[in-house]
Homo-oligomer: A and B are copies of this chain.
């Protein structure tokens, strides 16, 4: 059962020490146990969690949303139905994001391949990418 200091997990998870304390204050990570001196003691789990947070943020989730995602696993001792429905809602959101990103990806691909040819290329695939007036399902 390897344990780590805050500096060690900060390095492993590629986040700042202050950030970890900040997340702890927000309740985003479980408050770690302490040595008699007051030093925080972290487990491997914390590294995983921090990395999850870092990447989820990069996907446009707020800390609040990330917290909700993470909590899904803990509440499952309670009302199973609710976990299921919350998970389902998140899945819908996630799928919408994926679809949007795929549109951007296609637009970028078009742009990149249209370019080397020549000419002014007046049509802008990027703008069309997330344009709900296209075949995009018009969700808010």
Contacts and interface: CB of A to CB of B under 8 A. Distances in A.
A90 interface: yes
A48 B121 contact: no
A70 interface: yes
18 contacts: A48-B127, A48-B128, A52-B131, A55-B130, A58-B100, A59-B97, A59-B101, A73-B111, A76-B115, A77-B120, A81-B116, A84-B116, A87-B111, A94-B104, A94-B105, A95-B105, A98-B102, A101-B101
A49 B129 CA distance: 10
Interface in A28-85: 45, 48-49, 51-52, 55-61, 69-70, 72-73, 76-77, 80-81, 83-84
